[in-house]
Amino acid sequence: MKWRVNCREATELFSRTQDERLHLADRVAMRMHLAICRNCTRFARQLQDMRRLLRSGGALEDETAGLSADARQRIETELHQKLKP
Amino acid sequence: MNSLDAHAWLADHGDYLFRVARRQLHSDELAEDAVQETLLAALAAQSRYAGDASLRTWLTAILKHKIVDLIRRQVRETGLPRDEDDAEAVDLLFQQDGHWAEPLKPWGNPQAEAELGQLRRVLDECADRLKPVMAQVFSLREVAGMETEEICKELGITPTNCWVLLHRARLFMRECLTLNGFGGTSA
């Protein structure tokens, strides 16, 4: 069991917490590292900020980007084919 | 419902569906395919539309499955990104002893909606620069919020490969964001 981890290992552990629950030993090792490391604390904070921003996708409702005229025409044609009796 | 509906779906929701798909697939072409397949599937299944969800919500739910199908197909066709390139790029971020190669700059804490909009654009651009499968796996997790385990299973990737892709994507995204405005002129 490893209680001391370096920055590279700590970032891996923190990244993993974004996906699953860590084993106790890993959790302790990560927290001990974060407690003393400003860079990794920033890293952790930034991953959380990134996720928050990515999941607040409300802007999609208002944005103007959309299907190109070509694509729209192609899809129209496909739908039309499908709708033919 | 009659045959007019599918054309109205495209007119009313096509652009929105495209934007949702584009953000997760990182390719115009694939996003167009996703919209087309969604509308065709909706057409075939329209008798099952209960009408209790809004049409857009129903179409978006179908779209989610189509997005995963398209990524699965892509993984099957092109495989995973070449491992060595990405491993080298990660090595550059750290020193031999595992310390960060460069100190991390803090990000600002933007509140204004205009600023947030700008940051979201940077996020999308940075994600577009990742290799396709890496970008797609990243977005399934971080944008769509799918569970990691489910992503691996759906795409037929081993949990280890899946996790390595996600971790590297996060490292690369963080670098890209810091270099492109998150490091903050306006912190």
Q: Which of B76, B182, B181 is nearest to A46 (CA)?
A: B182
pLDDT at B79: 86
Nearest 5°: phi and psi at A4?
-105, 125
pLDDT at A61 over 90: no
Q: What is the pLDDT of residues B44-93, one digit of tens each?
A: 888 888 777 789 999 999 999 999 999 999 999 988 888 888 999 999 99
Question: Which residues of chain A have a Cβ shorter than 8 Å from any chain B Cβ?
Answer: 6-9, 11-12, 15-16, 18-20, 38-40, 42-43, 45-47, 49-51, 53-57, 59-61, 63, 65-68, 71-72, 74-76, 78-79, 82-83
- List where CATH 1.10.1740 sits in chain B: 4-78
Q: What share of chain A in percent tops pLDDT 90? A: 72
Which residues sit opposite B100 in a β-bridge?
Answer: B94
Inter-residue contact A10 to A30 (CB < 8 Å): yes
Rounded Cα–Cα distance for residues B101 and A74 (Å): 50
pLDDT at B187 over 50: no
Q: What is the pLDDT of residues B106-160, one digit of tens each?
A: 998 777 777 888 888 899 999 999 999 999 999 999 999 999 999 999 999 999 9
Inter-residue contact B45 to B28 (CB < 8 Å): no
What pTM was computed for the model? 0.90
Which residues sit opposite B94 in a β-bridge?
Answer: B100
pLDDT higher at B118 or B176: B176
Which of chain B's residues have a Cβ under 8 Å away from the Cβ of A45? 107
pLDDT higher at A71 or B186: A71
Rounded Cα–Cα distance for residues B47 and B23 (Å): 29
Q: Is B22 on the interface with A (CB under 8 A)?
A: yes
Cβ of A39 and B103 within 8 Å?
yes
- List where CATH 1.10.10.10 sits in chain B: 83-182
Cβ of A53 and B170 within 8 Å?
no
Size of interface A-B (CB pairs under 8 A): 127
Domain ranges of chain A: 1-55
Domain B83-182 has CATH 2.40.30.10: no
Determine how many CB atoms are found less than 10 A away from the CB of residue A33. Answer: 21
The CATH architecture one would assign to domain B4-78 is Orthogonal Bundle (1.10)
pLDDT at B113: 74
